[in-house]
Amino acid sequence: MRTRLRTPVARPLIATAMLLLAACSADPLNILVLSARAPGDQCEFDDDTVYVSRGSLDLTPFVVGTSTFVQNRYYQVFGWQNNLQPAPISVGGQVIDPGTGNSFIADSIVYEYQYSDPSVVLTTETANMHAVISAGGQSTDNSVPADLIQPQAFSAINGSTAIDSSSQTLLVTFQIFGRLAAGGSKYTNKVSFPLTIRRLSTTPVSCPTGQIINGGVCGFPGRDIPISCISE
């Protein structure tokens, strides 16, 4: 039997309130990242009506084959929408562009961190990405992924010791940058998502014959579940 920690699931109004959406007044916010989607039963993240308000990560080491690993990722998918509408271009009565100029092309994502363990200092990190949302695209049909724990943040947290005795809270705030297809830079609102970080054991979990490490619905051991073994 799989042992899972249940991730709180909320409906749209509750989840939207839980996420911190911050506007930047220098640029009208037309590209909006919305609530964090629940992964579903097979990590498809395809239901725009069910959301999660936070997550957790267990940094207990685990053994696969002859190698020892620690989960260094928290993959999460968010709904997003493009409030810019298609603007078709016509010449002589003939449409030469159906209006794709207002499509948003994302090329980078900036992560900022606040962490409850004062001994750990986390800095801003930037990651390359590629995602496109068409002009007028709604969150029901569009989503964007984020790897919430970037390499430097993981290294600093994994190297600390407070998580060995008590859970810590990591508040991840990210913002996506890019451009419109027609040109001109653009960015999204900022979104914050809290994670509970812990290391339930410093001793690597090694599964006996006939069992494997529980990867959960997304195949990431430690994501919203404790590191444990399950039957193959």
**Domains in the chain and their CATH numbers?**
9-59+72-85+98-203 (2.70.50)
Q: What is the DSSP letter of 135?
A: T
What confidence category does residue 89 fall into, taking pLDDT thresholds of 50, 70 and 90?
confident
Q: Average the pLDDT over 17-22 and give the result.
A: 39
Q: Could you count the other beta carbons within 10 Å of the beta carbon of residue 132?
A: 15
Element (DSSP H or E) covering residue 129: strand 125-133
Summarize the confidence of residues 170-190 as an average pLDDT: 97
Q: Count of alpha carbons within 13 Å of 152, Cβ hemisphere only?
A: 11
Residue 27 has a pLDDT of 63
The pLDDT value recorded for residue 90 is 79
Q: 68 is written with which tokens? A: 């020892």
Q: Helix, strand, or coil here: 153?
A: helix
Give the residue among 47, 53, 46 at the shortest CA–CA distance from 19: 53
Question: CA 139 to CA 130: how far, in whole Å?
Answer: 17
Other CB atoms within a 10 A radius of the CB of residue 49 amount to: 11
Overall residue count recorded for the chain in this entry: 232
Contacts of 102 (CB under 8 A, 6+ apart): 82, 84, 85, 86, 87, 135, 136, 180, 181, 182
Beta strand 143-147 with 168-180 is unpaired
Q: What pLDDT is attached to residue 92?
A: 80
CA distances from 148 to 77, 127, 201, 203, 231 (A): 10, 10, 23, 25, 30
**Predicted confidence (pLDDT) per residue in 93-134, tens digit:** 787 777 789 999 999 999 999 999 999 999 999 999 999 999
| Residue pair 9/50 in contact by the 8 Å Cβ criterion | yes
Q: What percent of the chain has pLDDT over 90?
A: 81
pTM score of the predicted model: 0.85
Q: Which two tokens stand for residue 192?
A: 């914050």
Write down the mean pLDDT value for the chain.
Answer: 90
Q: How distant is the alpha carbon of residue 164 from its chain centre?
A: 24
142 vs 90, more confident: 142
In this prediction, residue 150 carries a pLDDT of: 99
91 pLDDT tier (thresholds 50, 70, 90): confident
227, amino acid identity: I
Q: What percent of the chain has pLDDT over 70?
A: 88
Q: Which amino acid is at 54?
A: R
